[in-house]
Amino acid sequence: MFIYHWQLAWRSLKKNPILCGLMVLAIACGVTASMICYTAYHVINTNPLSNKDAILFMLQTDSWHLKEAFSGKASNQMPDLLSYRDVTALMHSHIPLRKTAMTRWGGILSIPNSEAEPYFAKARINTHDYFKMFDVDFLYGSPWNQAADNEVQNLIVLSEDVNNHFFRGENSIGKTILLEGYLYKIQGVLKRDAQPSNKMQNIDTSILMPTEDVYLPFGVLAEREISSWDIIQRPGDLLEYSENSHQNLLKSGNLWLSYWVEFSGPKQKQEYEQFISQYIQNQKALGYYPRSLRFALSNATQKLNINGYSNGKFSMLTKFGVGFLMVCTVNCIALLLAKFLRYAPESAIRRALGASRTAIFVQHFIESSIIGILGAALGLVLTYTGLKYLHYEFSNISAENNFLIGNIADLFVLDAHILLVTVMASIVASLCAGIYPAWRICQASIAQHLKLQ
Amino acid sequence: MLPIVPIINALMQRKFSVSLLILQIALTTAIFSNLSFVALEFDRRYTRPSDIKDDLLFTVLLRSIDSTINYAEALRDISSLQKIPGIVSSSIFRWSPFSGNASTGALRTHPDENAPALKTAMIDVSIQALTTLELKVVAGRDFRMEDMIVENNTANTGSRKIIVTQVLAKAIFENAQNAIGKSVFDGDTRFEIIGVTCDWMGIGIDSSEPAEHSLFIPHYWDGDPEQRYIIRVNDNHFREAAITETIKQLQHNHQHKVFLYIEKMDELKKQTSIPGHKFSILLKTINVVLGLVVAFAISGQTLFSIQQRTKQIGLRRALGASQRDIIILLLIENTIILVLGLIAGISLAFYANQFVIRMGYPSLPPIYLIITCLSLLVLSLTSTIIPAISAGKISPGVATRTL
**What does pLDDT average to over chain A?**
80
Q: Phi/psi of residue A361, each to 5°?
A: -60, -45
**What's the CA gap between A299 and A418, in Å, rounded?**
24
Distance, in Å, from the CA atom of A30 to the CA atom of B297, rounded to the nearest integer, reads 13
Gap between the Cα atoms of A130 and A190, Å rounded: 12
- Residue A397 above 60 pLDDT? no
In angstroms, rounded to a whole number, what is the distance separating the alpha carbons of residues A323 and A317? 10
The residue with greater pLDDT, B223 or B192, is B192
Mean pLDDT computed over A20-27: 89
- B29 pLDDT exceeds 90? yes
Q: Where would I find the H helices in B65-165?
A: 71-82, 129-133
| Structure confidence at residue A447 (pLDDT) | 79
% residues pLDDT > 90 (chain A): 10
Strand ranges inside A98-198, DSSP E:
98-110, 119-126, 138-141, 155-158, 176-179, 182-190
CA A31 vs. chain centroid, Å, equals 21
List Cα–Cα distances, A226 to A39, A406, B164, in angstroms: 37, 22, 31
Most confident residue range from A367-381, A412-426, A433-447, B212-226? A367-381
| Residue of B238 and A248 predicted with greater confidence | B238
- DSSP-based three-state secondary structure for A41: helix
Residue closest to A320 by CA, chosen among B338, B379, B346, B287: B287
Burial grade of B298 (CB within 10 A; 0-12, 13-18, 19 or more) = buried
Q: What is the CA angle A189-A59-A157, rounded to 5?
A: 10
For residue B233, the cross-strand partners are B87
Question: What is the pLDDT confidence band of residue B229, given thresholds at 50, 70 and 90?
Answer: very high
Q: Please check whether residue B229 is in contact with residue B75, taking contact to mean a CB–CB distance below 8 angstroms.
A: no
- pTM assigned to the model: 0.75
Check: CB of residue A27 under 8 Å from CB of residue A429.
yes
What phi and psi, each to the nearest 5 degrees, are found at residue B354? -65, -30
- pLDDT computed for residue B91 by the predictor: 94
> Which residues does residue B262 pair with via DSSP β-bridges, in sequence order?
B60
Confidence of residue A93 (pLDDT cuts 50, 70, 90): confident
Asked whether the predicted pLDDT for residue A452 surpasses 70, the reply is no
Chain A residue nearest residue B306, CA to CA:
A338
According to the model, what pLDDT value does residue A39 have?
Answer: 86
Whether A326 has its CB under 8 Å from any CB of chain B: the answer is yes
> What per-residue confidence (pLDDT) applies to A440?
86
DSSP H stretches of helix in B47-117: 71-82
Is A18 an 8 Å CB contact of chain B? Answer: no
Per-residue model confidence as pLDDT tens digits over B271-291: 777 777 888 888 899 999 999
| CA A240 remoteness from chain centre | 35
pLDDT tier at B231, thresholds 50, 70, 90: very high
Residue A291 has a pLDDT of 85
- pLDDT per residue over B54-95, tens digit each? 889 999 988 877 678 889 999 999 999 989 988 999 999 998
pLDDT of residue A185: 92
Most A CBs within 10 A among B14, B22, B23, B27, hence the mutation to make, goes to B27
Beta-carbon contacts of residue A131 (< 8 Å; ≥ 6 apart): A138, A143, A157, A190, A215
Task: Please list, in sequence order, all residues whose beta carbon lies within 8 angstroms of the beta carbon of residue B148, skipping any fewer than 6 positions away.
Answer: B126, B127, B218, B219, B220
Helix (H) / strand (E) containing A9: helix A2-15
Partner B contacted by A55 (CB < 8 A): no
Residues of A in contact with B283 (CB under 8 A): 317
- Closest Cα partner for B107 from B186, B173, B181, B169? B186
Contact A327 B28 (CB under 8 A): yes
Residue whose C-alpha is closest to residue B202's, from B49, B37, B362: B49
Q: Is the pLDDT assigned to residue A363 strictly greater than 60? A: yes
User: Contact, B69 vs B224, CB < 8 A?
Assistant: yes
Q: How far is CA A245 from CA A153, A232, A242, A257, B159, in A?
A: 22, 12, 8, 15, 21
pLDDT beyond 70 at A437:
yes
Cα B142 to Cα B399: distance, rounded to the nearest angstrom? 85
Angle of CA points B1, B7, B12, to nearest 5°: 160
Mean pLDDT of B306-315: 85
pLDDT of B148-159, one tens digit each? 888 876 566 667
Kindly state the average pLDDT of the residues B311-322.
86
The four Cα atoms A236, A237, A242, A243 give a dihedral, to 10 degrees, of -110
pLDDT by residue (tens digit) across A182-211?
Answer: 889 999 998 876 444 444 443 333 333 546
Report whether A397 contacts A408 (CB < 8 A): yes
Distance, in Å, from the CA atom of A163 to the CA atom of A142, rounded to the nearest integer, reads 15
Q: Which of B24, B188, B352 sits opposite A330 (nearest CB)?
A: B24
pLDDT of residue A159: 87
> With 60 as the cut, is the pLDDT of residue A45 above it?
yes
Interface predicted TM-score (ipTM) = 0.76
State the nearest Cα–Cα gap between A404 and chain B, in angstroms.
Answer: 7
Chain A residues whose CB is inside 8 A of the B16 CB are 337, 436
> In the structure, what pLDDT confidence band is assigned to residue B346 with cuts at 50, 70 and 90?
very high
The CA–CA distances, whole Å, from A261 to A54, A228, A383 equal 11, 21, 39
**Residue to substitute from A64, A316, A390, interface B, most B β-carbons within 10 A:** A316
State which amino acid sits at residue A413. V
Average pLDDT over all residues of chain B:
86
3-state helix, strand, coil in chain B (%, to 5): 55, 20, 25
Taking only residues 268 to 307 of chain A, the set having a beta carbon closer than 8 angstroms to any beta carbon of chain B reads: none
- CA dihedral of A150, A153, A159, A160, whole degrees rounded to 10: -130
